[in-house]
């Protein structure tokens, strides 16, 4: 089957910038990753998005844009168009022109219990700006079919796992962004997936509030602190963790309230432990204990999180490894997934499954905008 050349654009719950990834794929088992570009947001624009989360709390219908969200949506879209142009003028200069762009947009509200998810991003404007067809709004159809609208990456993880030998199964892909999610894949059957808990979001908020910096690079602040077990337990005893999957989270479902008595270093270390333990806790509701945990996303760069994952994985007979150790680019995988999903959308293939989002049946999704 002929391969489609696609660009994936991701701006995740960490709100740190735009990831651009190039993939050639048939939307099924053939996946050939290409170059990747990260375009960071400057601090002022990140604060503008954070302010938009407050405006978004008033949304009751997904097409509403209260407060400054209309202007923010346009600004986000134009920045994505600039990121596409920067990629095509640089790393993608000698590649075939993309046939399609998969555009995630910026999530500002996710309330699956209300069937409501909002990603800021004007797909039609992006198509006009770039001259390339765009698939966007890929979560809505899942919710219309009873799903949580997240996570959507598992179909891509399953495609990657098809290249593994039989001795590596079952395997879990772990993406640690602002929120962490897990995809469990065995040799047969649909993937099983759900959000596992807070990833980087609480840590980022903590060090920004206490030290005025955007994130704990490498987990260096955490490395100087200790774990407050009472605070960690207060997070991990929340009802979310006892619920079976599929389940998903909004960035604001967890706050810093439980950690307020801690100092900078102990808070960073405790929140890193919460991130790792939330992932490991998910093993109890998976069909089987994974033999391998493949960790991608920005959180894999936090040494405290990775140390906890490695230690906890060993206790359940599994091995936690970086995406790079499995032959992948841990920074690019989520944007690559959006390129892959755009091609699946074009072909009408399923993006989500009852075992990943809780939808009533496997469904495709996305809206196509042409230049």
Instruction: Give pLDDT, residue 72.
Output: 98
What CATH number does domain 154-326 carry, 3.30.420.40, 1.50.10.10, 1.10.3430.10, 2.60.40.3080?
Answer: 3.30.420.40
CA distances from 182 to 38, 64, 89, 145, 308 (A): 23, 31, 35, 22, 16
Residue 15 has pLDDT above 90, yes or no: no
CA 184 to chain centre: 15
Residues whose CB falls within 8 Å of the CB of residue 30, separated by 6 or more in sequence, listed in order: 1, 3, 24
Percent of the chain with pLDDT over 90: 92
Instruction: Give pLDDT, residue 317.
Output: 86
Instruction: Give pLDDT, residue 318.
Output: 92
Residues whose CB falls within 8 Å of the CB of residue 340, separated by 6 or more in sequence, listed in order: 6, 8, 23, 25, 27, 31, 102, 155, 156, 159
Give the span between the Cα atoms of 136 and 105, in whole angstroms: 8
Instruction: Give pLDDT, residue 316.
Output: 82
Structure tokens at 180: 């962490």
Instruction: Give pLDDT, residue 14.
Output: 82
pLDDT digits (tens, 9 = 90+) for 160-194: 999 898 889 999 999 999 999 999 999 988 999 99
At CA 25, angle to CA 122 and CA 150, rounded to 5?
50
Residue 21 has pLDDT above 90, yes or no: yes
- CATH 3.30.70.3400 matches 4-150+332-369: no
Q: Is 79 exposed, middle or buried (0-12, 13-18, 19+ CB in 10 A)?
A: middle
Strand 367-369 and strand 134-136: the pairing is antiparallel
Instruction: Give pLDDT, residue 13.
Output: 81
Strand 179-185 and strand 171-176: the pairing is antiparallel
pLDDT band of 265, cuts 50, 70, 90: very high
Sign of CA dihedral 354, 298, 120, 26: negative
Residues whose CB falls within 8 Å of the CB of residue 255, separated by 6 or more in sequence, listed in order: 202
Question: Minimal CA–CA distance to 274: which of 246, 305, 244?
Answer: 305
pLDDT digits (tens, 9 = 90+) for 288-315: 999 999 999 999 999 999 999 999 999 8
Instruction: Give pLDDT, residue 51.
Output: 95
212: alpha, beta or left? (left if phi > 0; alpha if psi -120 to 50): left
Question: Minimal CA–CA distance to 333: which of 14, 5, 38, 128?
Answer: 38
Residue 209 has pLDDT above 80, yes or no: yes
Give 263 or 188, the one with higher predicted confidence.
Answer: 263
pLDDT digits (tens, 9 = 90+) for 274-292: 999 999 999 899 999 999 9
Give the span between the Cα atoms of 42 and 5, in whole angstroms: 30
Residue 1 has pLDDT above 80, yes or no: no
Give the span between the Cα atoms of 149 and 144, in whole angstroms: 9
What residues form DSSP beta bridges with 11? 106
CB 266 within 8 A of CB 230: no
pLDDT digits (tens, 9 = 90+) for 240-260: 999 999 999 888 899 999 999
Strand 292-296 and strand 4-11: the pairing is unpaired
The rounded mean pLDDT for the chain is: 95
Sign of CA dihedral 299, 302, 305, 307: positive
Secondary structure of 81-135 in HEC code, one letter for each residue: HHHHHHHHHCCCCCCCCCCEEEEEEEEEEEEHHHCEEEEECCHHHHHHHHCCCEE
pLDDT digits (tens, 9 = 90+) for 59-115: 999 999 999 999 999 999 999 999 999 999 999 999 999 999 999 999 999 999 999
Percent of the chain with pLDDT over 70: 100
Q: CATH 3.30.420.40 residue ranges in the chain? A: 4-150+332-369, 154-326
CB 261 within 8 A of CB 341: no
pTM of the model: 0.92
Give the span between the Cα atoms of 343 and 4, in whole angstroms: 7
Give the span between the Cα atoms of 60 and 38, in whole angstroms: 33
pLDDT digits (tens, 9 = 90+) for 342-371: 999 999 999 999 999 999 999 999 999 999
Structure tokens at 336: 């690559």
């Amino acid at each position: 089957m002929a391969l489609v050349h696609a660009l994936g654009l991701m701006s995740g719950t960490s709100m740190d910038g735009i990831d651009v990834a190039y993939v050639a794929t048939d939307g099924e088992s053939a996946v050939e990753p290409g170059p990747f570009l990260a375009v960071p947001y400057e601090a002022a624009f990140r604060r503008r998005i954070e302010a938009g989360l407050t405006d978004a709390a008033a949304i009751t219908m997904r097409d509403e844009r209260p407060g400054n969200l209309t202007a923010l949506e346009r600004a986000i879209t134009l920045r994505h168009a600039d990121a596409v142009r920067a990629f095509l003028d640089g790393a993608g200069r000698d590649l075939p022109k993309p046939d399609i762009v998969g555009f995630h947009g910026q999530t500002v509200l996710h309330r699956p219990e209300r069937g409501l998810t909002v990603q800021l991003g004007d797909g039609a404007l992006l198509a006009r700006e770039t001259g390339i067809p765009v698939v966007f709004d890929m979560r809505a159809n899942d919710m219309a079919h009873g799903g949580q609208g997240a996570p959507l990456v598992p179909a891509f993880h399953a495609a990657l796992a098809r290249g593994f030998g039989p001795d590596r199964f079952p395997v879990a892909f772990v993406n640690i962004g602002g929120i962490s999610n897990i995809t469990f894949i065995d040799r047969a059957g649909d993937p099983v997936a759900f959000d596992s808990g807070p990833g980087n979001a609480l840590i980022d908020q903590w060090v920004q509030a206490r030290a005025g910096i955007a994130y704990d690079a490498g987990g260096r602040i955490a490395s100087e602190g200790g774990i407050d077990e009472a605070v960690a337990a207060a997070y991990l005893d929340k009802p979310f963790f006892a619920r079976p999957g599929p389940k998903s989270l909004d960035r604001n479902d967890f706050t810093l309230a439980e950690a307020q008595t801690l100092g900078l270093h102990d808070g960073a270390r405790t929140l890193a432990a919460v991130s790792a333990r939330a992932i490991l806790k998910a093993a109890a509701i998976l069909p089987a204990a994974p033999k391998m945990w493949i960790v991608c996303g920005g959180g894999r760069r936090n040494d405290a999180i990775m140390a906890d994952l490695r230690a906890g994985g060993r206790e359940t007979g599994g091995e936690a490894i970086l995406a790079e150790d499995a032959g992948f680019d841990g920074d690019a995988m989520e944007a690559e997934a959006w390129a892959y999903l755009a091609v699946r959308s074009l072909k009408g293939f399923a993006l989500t499954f009852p075992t990943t989002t809780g939808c009533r049946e496997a469904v495709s999704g996305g809206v196509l905008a042409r230049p």
